Amino acid sequence: MDKNPCNSQDAEVRKGPWTMEEDLILINYIADHGDGVWNSLAKAAGLKRTGKSCRLRWLNYLRPDVRRGNITPEEQLLIMELHAKWGNRWSKIAKHLPGRTDNEIKNYWRTRIQKHIKQAADQNFQGGVKAMEMMNNINPHEHQAASTSQVDSTMETYSPPYDHDHVVEAFHHGTNTTTALHYHHHHDSNVNENYWSMEDLWSMQLLNCD
């Protein structure tokens, strides 16, 4: 649509899903020359893609150590703990889950965990009120595009209390059944303590599903 007709020879940049041929070109080029310097890599490899696109494809999909398949309950728990600590710092969280990409974790959070939180909160279960409180507790200090963009209003983004003023503790006591996530709000006037216990998580069936 915005193709420039003047210099069509180098202006054509491919977008959308990668073909097998493109994948092979990228894999082989990186095998020979290594990754990084993505813009020049894209040109040198003869790919009609932006460096950005090449980098994304490699890091999220083609990289040999990328781990695919179901997120394990342990990984899920770790994601929740780290998200409670750091919020939407997906790449930072991903560094603690070997083989998992920030994109995968982000997608997983949005499609699975966030949805379950919402669904569970909609039902009358024990922790629902607490979950809703937490979902509504949007931190005003952090960047939060979710609250400003056109995110579906029925599926508000849960924003954990990862303000510096908040202390988040995560415990591990051997098995996951005794693990607890504790969110402590100690300066919010309207919330004295928010505990999101493992019992709550289990009741949300977050850890039962594969």
Partner DNA sequence: AAGCATTGCAACCGCGGGAAA
Partner DNA sequence: ATTTCCCGCGGTTGCAATGCT
CB 75 within 8 A of CB 100: yes
Q: Round to whole Å and give the CA distance between 57 and 183.
A: 36
Q: What is the DSSP letter of 48?
A: S
> Using CB under 7 A, which of the segments 3-11, 141-149, 170-178, 181-189 binds DNA?
141-149
46-85 residues near DNA, rule: CB under 7 A: 49, 51-53, 55-57, 60-61, 68
The owner of tokens 């999909």 is 61
Residue 156 touching DNA (CB under 7 A): no
Kindly tell me which residue out of 33, 67, 143, 172 binds DNA, with binding defined by CB under 7 A: 143
Residue 90 touching DNA (CB under 7 A): yes
Residue 194 beta carbon to DNA: minimum distance, rounded to whole angstroms: 21
Q: Which two tokens stand for residue 162?
A: 């990862």
Q: Round to whole Å and give the CA distance between 89 and 86.
A: 6
> Using CB under 7 A, which of the segments 12-20, 162-170, 177-185, 193-201 binds DNA?
12-20
CB 112 within 8 A of CB 207: no
Q: Which two tokens stand for residue 194?
A: 């928010």
Residue 161 beta carbon to DNA: minimum distance, rounded to whole angstroms: 15
Q: Which two tokens stand for residue 12?
A: 């054509």
Q: At what angle do helices 114-122 and 128-136 cross, to 10 degrees?
A: 120
Binding-site string for DNA from residue 23 to residue 42, where x marks contact by CB under 7 A and - marks none: -------------xxxxxx-
Q: How many residues bind DNA (CB under 7 A)?
A: 44
Residue 3 touching DNA (CB under 7 A): no
CB nearer to DNA: give 103 or 197.
Answer: 103
CB 96 within 8 A of CB 78: yes
Question: 3-state class of 172 per DSSP?
Answer: strand
Site residues (vs DNA, CB under 7 A): 14-18, 36-41, 49, 51-53, 55-57, 60-61, 68, 88-92, 102-104, 106-108, 110-112, 115, 143-146, 148-151
